[in-house]
Structure 1
Amino acid sequence: MSPTIAAMRRLLTDLEPLVLEIEDQSHRHIGHAGAAAGGGHFDMTIVSPRFIGKRPLERHRLVYDALRSLKGPHGFHALSITAKAPDEI
């Protein structure tokens, strides 16, 4: 597991994820400006009871707020998020 994925997993524990899958997609973005600056591209699926009653944008904000310290050249440049409540799986 990469250090960035390990840090993401640690930072997302407050969301009490029932499912948390994170895939590094950086190899698909070689040559992209964000990749050249060092930030990775990641794909995430997260299922959390904290998402119940929240719209997709609110769910994404919760994830981005939790990962704020990793945004940038030493963490991630892009993040694709699938965020669901437990009753949606």
Structure 2
Amino acid sequence: MSGTKARIEDRLNRVFSPQHLKVTDDSASHAGHAGNPHGRGETHFTVEIVAEAFAGKSRIERHRAVNQALAEELAAGLHALAIRAKAPGE
């Protein structure tokens, strides 16, 4: 497991206590693209998360909450984050 992936998982688990969390490193498929010009990895991730904290929230509010939770990673070089955030039962 990558260091960035582990930090993302740890932070999201602590902030949201999700029922489901899957973090996928998509960096390899973006090698040479903006944000990963040298194929160094750990720059592009997909997050699938199901948590009670998202109940009653709009898609934008959910994405903002995840981005806020991962602000340090985003500031440190995480270039792209695809987010699929749902409440339980959705």
TM-score, scaled relative to structure 1: 0.90
Unaligned runs of 5+ in 2: none
**1:48–1:84 contact (8 Å) kept in structure 2:** yes
Higher relative contact order (CA 8 A, sep 6+): 1
Deviation at 1:75, TM superposition (A): 4.2
TM-score, scaled relative to structure 2: 0.89
Unaligned runs of 5+ in 1: none
Q: Percent of aligned pairs with the same residue?
A: 44
Alignment of 1:26 onto 2:22: no
- How many Å separate the matches in 1 of 2:77 and 2:55? 28
- RMSD between superposed Cα atoms in Å: 1.5
Q: Aligned pairs, how many?
A: 87
- How many Å separate the matches in 2 of 1:55 and 1:34? 28
- How many Å separate the matches in 1 of 2:61 and 2:31? 30
Runs of 4 or more, structure 1, over 3 Å off, are none
- How many Å separate the matches in 1 of 2:45 and 2:62? 17
